[in-house]
Amino acid sequence: MSLIELDKITFGYPGRDPILRGASMRLGAGERLSLTGPNGAGKSTLLRMFVGLLRPTGGEVRAFGKPRKTQKEFHEVRTRVGLVFQDPDDQLFCPTVAEDIAFGPLNLGKTRDQALEMVDKVLTQLQLMHLRDRVTHKLSGGEKRLVTLACVLAMEPEVLLLDEPTNALDDTNRDRLAEILLSLPQAFLLVSHDAAFRARVAPCALELRDGVLSGLVE
């Protein structure tokens, strides 16, 4: 069974030509796929469709075997699918790193002690404990990028959606990120202009061009 799926999705921003013109794909358990395509093709738009941040004008979004249309239905999806935004500042809003990472588990009903335990677990996993009590807005771009991944992993999602996760990372942290992703059990869909990174962590690719997906779609 597919974890997440798009079926003939159409979508256009107001006053512009449609950006998606019948895009279809599915991601199964354990799969790691890259999403490629030219700038402006709609790759980030497509990721947002999966979690209901944007709604299609046509077609169907399915997640965990069910069609998803309403805000309530997508709320459940967001507890099981983690989206790492292209711009970390869109995702980080608490005063400290620990508070940012704890926010998701607290929202899922964890106690404060349980949330802080998850903070330490994820920061240890990502070798970021030295950032635990840092002020978020004073982090470097690369540090913010890694902390956003920590925020998502703390919610223990079943699927990861990664939008340009190597932005602002130096070679050392890019290698660390690759090793982290390869060690994770979650299925993930990766959008990245970094061809070497894609080849390392998710060599199977779909191409989004002229509003449709091609490649591995069956």
| pLDDT tens digits in sequence order for the chain, 218 residues long | 799 999 999 999 998 889 999 999 999 999 999 999 999 999 999 999 999 999 999 999 999 999 999 999 999 999 999 999 999 998 999 999 999 999 999 999 999 999 999 999 999 989 999 999 999 999 999 899 999 999 999 999 999 999 999 988 899 989 989 999 999 999 999 999 999 999 999 999 999 999 999 975 33
Helix (H, G, I), strand (E, B) or coil at 160: strand
Q: Which residue type is seen at 196?
A: A
pTM for the whole thing?
Answer: 0.92
206: CB partners within 8 A, 6+ apart: 25, 33, 34, 35, 36, 213, 214, 215, 216, 217
Domains and CATH numbers, the chain: 1-80+159-167+189-218 (3.40.50.300), 87-156 (no CATH)
Beta bridge partners of 209: 212
